[in-house]
Amino acid sequence: MRNWTGRLCVAVAFLGAWLAGTNSAVAADEPATVTISGNAWAFVLTGTTSGLEGATIGIAEHPEITTVSGPDGAWSLEVPNHESITPFATAPGRYAVYDQTFFTRDRDLNQVNFQMPPQGIAEAFAQIVGASMNGEPGSKVLDQCAIVSTVFQKEGRNFTNFNDFLAFAPHGIEGATAEAFDPDGQSIGPPVYFDSHVIPTPSLTSASRDGGMVWDSLPAGVYTVQAYDDTARFSSFRATCEPGRLVNASPPWGTYEMARTEEPNPAVLAPDEPVITPADESLDASVVSAKVVKKGARKRQLIVKIRAGEPVTAVLTASQGKRKVRSGKKSVPVTTRKITVSIPGKFRSGSLSLNVSLADAAGNKGSHQSILFVPAIRKKH
């Protein structure tokens, strides 16, 4: 009995070690850090803009993580994975700006930009909307918190050159509205919208072509902002407020317009919020080439090359009048695959109609039609 018990203990220990190794391997697949990058740029009212070199960029939750923006205001930081991250930027003569709060989920975040207003403009805007500040003119600080964002057109989200991005203006969706929700999920009402000259205008009831908007005098807490429009869908975002903070969820993040079937980037969701996988509504496969070739003196083959970005099935149908040959269902993995079908001797030399039916696992379908030449073969005597 003692012998059996000892063997059992060894087996259990081995199994535990194997499971621990398996779990470690799974965890090792997830990166410990991700990269977050973007540009700091100087906000002005004249319509001209430029990158802001020399701004200090940090992470509110990790004071030890900092960098300084380089030419064109470009910056980059390695930040912890699977954590809430609130980037911020400071620069001499400009009001400190915090960005929205992200939750890192295994992917790098790009174009996280800081739109940095001169101290004088920040103080003037606060006076317009009625936000109280304290301190001496030229160095005043908000008593509470303000949140700024833009209902931003989807067409402006794909620029790879930062100067092209800055030149994309105006970039708002006129007529859109927005609402902010406090940490308890209660609506705090609409914002003050910016007019087409980029001035906060309390009389406006919806966004101008500029797209800007601001909520002021907010107590500390994490707020959620959502925008609405009859013809556009927008991502929401989270803003972490503290006394004195100006949170500017700058384009192309914040309340950005989403494409037809797009879902919000998982990084903008709260840690406990489920990530929605967008519905698969497109077929990622196509016919690259098709031809009929001779195989010796008496045989012919139809060869179709299919390129697939996802696993698909293909059915080839070749017809010539009442003559028809069908391949049956063929699997095509994520690769380029050749499918061959023998062309019977009853097919004559001349034209042939080809139809290739493609389908993926989600039920999306597509087809390809072409006319091919059938070469002559030697008939049996």
The pTM assigned to this predicted structure is: 0.69
pLDDT value at 25 more than 60: no
pLDDT confidence of residue 199: 94
Alpha carbons 90 and 40: distance in angstroms, whole number = 10
Query: What CATH number is attached to the domain comprising 313?
Result: 2.60.40.2360
More confident residue, 282 or 185: 185
Alpha carbons 222 and 368: distance in angstroms, whole number = 52
pLDDT value at 11 more than 60: no
pLDDT confidence of residue 5: 37
Pair (78, 148) in one structural domain: yes
**Model confidence pLDDT, tens digit, residues 159-214:** 888 888 888 888 999 999 999 999 999 999 899 999 999 999 999 999 999 999 99
Pair (175, 238) in one structural domain: yes
Considering 209, 239, 268, which residue would you say is the last residue of a domain?
A: 268
pLDDT confidence of residue 21: 38
Classify residue 310: in a domain, yes or no. Answer: yes
Query: What CATH number is attached to the domain comprising 163?
Result: 2.60.40.1120
Q: Which domain holds residue 90?
A: 33-268
Classify residue 52: in a domain, yes or no. Answer: yes
Domain count, the chain: 2
Classify residue 21: in a domain, yes or no. Answer: no
Classify residue 135: in a domain, yes or no. Answer: yes
Classify residue 18: in a domain, yes or no. Answer: no
pLDDT value at 153 more than 90: yes
Pair (143, 47) in one structural domain: yes
Pair (323, 233) in one structural domain: no
Considering 240, 268, 296, which residue would you say is the last residue of a domain?
A: 268
Pair (208, 132) in one structural domain: yes
| Integer CA distances (angstroms), 147 to 50, 205, 215, in order | 23, 17, 5
**Model confidence pLDDT, tens digit, residues 104-149:** 999 999 999 999 999 999 999 999 999 999 999 999 999 999 999 9
| pLDDT > 90 fraction of the chain, expressed in percent and rounded | 75
pLDDT confidence of residue 276: 72
pLDDT value at 24 more than 70: no
Alpha carbons 143 and 127: distance in angstroms, whole number = 12
Radius of gyration of the chain (CA): 30
Residue 271 makes CB contacts below 8 A (sequence gap 6+) with 84, 103
- Write down the mean pLDDT value for the chain: 89
